[in-house]
Structure 1
C-alpha cells in the first residue's frame, strides 16, 4: 500500500490490494481528485480514517446505450409523480446524501472535508447532480463526477419510495442521449445490481476510460 505525500502522484492501479485499496493519505484537493478520477481511482473512507484511495479489481457500471428501464419504473416515470432536474441544487443533494440514514450503516463516508471538496468540483462544472422533486420538495437525487464520456456516480438518496431510482434512470437516459460510454457505479451492491448495473474488470474499465467517444 502506497502512502501519499504532498506530491501530486498515484502509483499504478495494478499495485492495489486484493480489495482494491491503492493508497493512503494525501488530500482532497481539486487537482488530486481530478487526477484520481482520470486514472480510475476514487476516495472512500470513514470519518475517523485516513483518506483511502481505491481502484477495485471489479467495477460496477451501466452501459447507457444498452440499458433497459424496468416496466414498473417506466410506469412511475410516465405517471409524472416526480419532477426531475439536473444540476440545479448540488449542495442540497450532497448534503442529503451525507445525512440520510441508511440501513446497516453507521455514520457517513461523506465527511465535511469531502463535502467541501466536491462543492469546489461543482463550482468548476465537474461535479454534477440530479434532483428529484415532489410537490416542490427535494425528495431524492444523486451526484457524481462528470468526465465527459463517463459519469462517475458517488452517492444517492431517497426520502420517499422510488425517488432515487427515478434519479438513477433519468441520469442514464440523459447519458444515453449525450452519447456517454458508461455510468460508473464504482463497487458492487445488491441495490445497484437490481437496478441493472453489472461488473466489468478494472482493465476493461481503464480501456474505456482512456478511450474517446
Structure 2
C-alpha cells in the first residue's frame, strides 16, 4: 500500500486515473497539504479532485469512487417545488441573484446547519480560496432574495464545460432546491451534461443525483474540459425557473 502524498507549494496532484486509493481506510483521499496554495484549487478541479476538511486539520484532497453527479435533465422537480417556483416567479419582491454577492452566499453556506453534513468544513481558508477563483471567473453564486434579503442559494465552480456543485443553504422551505433548479435549467440551456455533487447524500439523491464510477466521471470530465467552454459571464434571472413549469 502506497502512502498518501503530502503536497508542497510546487507539487502536482497525483492523477486519479492512474492511482488507486493509497489508504483503503479513507477511500477517496489521495493527497494532503498544509494549506491551499495559489493555483492549487483550479489544478485540483481539472483533475476531478476537491478539498474537504475541518478546522485544525491539514487540507484533505479527495477523488471518491463512486462519484455523485446530477444530470441536469434528471433534476426532480416535485409538484410542491413547482408551486414554490410559480409563486416566486410571480412575486414582484423576489429576485434571483447571480454572482451578485459571492461572499454573502459562501458565508451563508458555511453557517447553515444541515442534516447530512456539518457545515463547518467551509473554513475561512476555503472561503478565501473560492472567493479568489470567483474573482478569476471560475466560481459562481446563485441566490434567491425576497425584499432584498437572501433566503437560499448555492455556490459552484465552472471550468471548461463542467459545473461542480459545492454547497447550498436555505432559510425558507425549498429555497436551496430552487437555486439548484435554476442551475440545472441553466446547464440544460448551455448543454452542460453533468453537475458534480461529489459525495452521496439522501438529499441529493431525492433531487435526482446518482452515483457513477470514478473512471466514468473522470472520462466525462476530460471530454468537458477539452471539447467545450461555458459562456461567460453568467447572467440570468428568475425567469430561468420557468423551465420547470
TM-score (norm 1): 0.93
Identify the residue that residue 58 of structure 1 maps to in structure 2. Answer: 66
* Greater Cα offset, 147-156 or 9-18: 9-18
Counting only pairs closer than 5 Å after superposition, residues 20-99 of structure 1 correspond to structure 2 as: 20-80=28-88, 82-99=94-111
User: 1:106 & 1:161 partners in 2: Cα distance?
Assistant: 19
Which of the two has higher C-alpha Rg? 2
Counterpart contact for 1:64–1:175, Cα < 8 Å: yes
Identify the residue that residue 7 of structure 2 maps to in structure 1. Answer: 4
- Once the two structures are superposed, residues 87-141 of structure 1 have per-residue CA deviations (whole angstroms, 9 ceiling, x without a partner) of 1111100011111223475560011111111111110010101011122210111
Change (3 A) 1:181 1:30: farther
User: How far is the alpha carbon of 1:6 from its aligned partner?
Assistant: 2.1
* Greater Cα offset, 126-135 or 38-47: 126-135
TM-score (norm 2): 0.82
Counterpart contact for 2:76–2:207, Cα < 8 Å: no
The answer to whether structure 1 residue 117 and structure 2 residue 122 are counterparts is no
What is the aligned length? 213
The answer to whether structure 1 residue 145 and structure 2 residue 150 are counterparts is no
Counterpart contact for 2:75–2:181, Cα < 8 Å: no
Counterpart contact for 1:148–1:180, Cα < 8 Å: no
- The runs of at least 4 aligned residues of structure 1 exceeding 2 Å deviation read 14-18, 65-72, 101-107
The answer to whether structure 1 residue 108 and structure 2 residue 113 are counterparts is no
User: 1:26 & 1:89 partners in 2: Cα distance?
Assistant: 29
Identify the residue that residue 135 of structure 1 maps to in structure 2. Answer: 147
The answer to whether structure 1 residue 192 and structure 2 residue 193 are counterparts is no
Provide the alpha-carbon RMSD of the alignment. 1.7
User: 1:137 & 1:152 partners in 2: Cα distance?
Assistant: 26
User: How far is the alpha carbon of 1:163 from its aligned partner?
Assistant: 0.6
User: 2:138 & 2:118 partners in 1: Cα distance?
Assistant: 29
Unaligned runs of 5+ in 2: 229-245
Change (3 A) 1:26 1:154: same
Identify the residue that residue 15 of structure 1 maps to in structure 2. Answer: 20
* Greater Cα offset, 96-105 or 40-49: 96-105
Change (3 A) 1:77 1:152: same
- Once the two structures are superposed, residues 163-201 of structure 1 have per-residue CA deviations (whole angstroms, 9 ceiling, x without a partner) of 111111111001111111211110100110111111111
SS at match of 1:75: helix
Unaligned runs of 5+ in 1: none
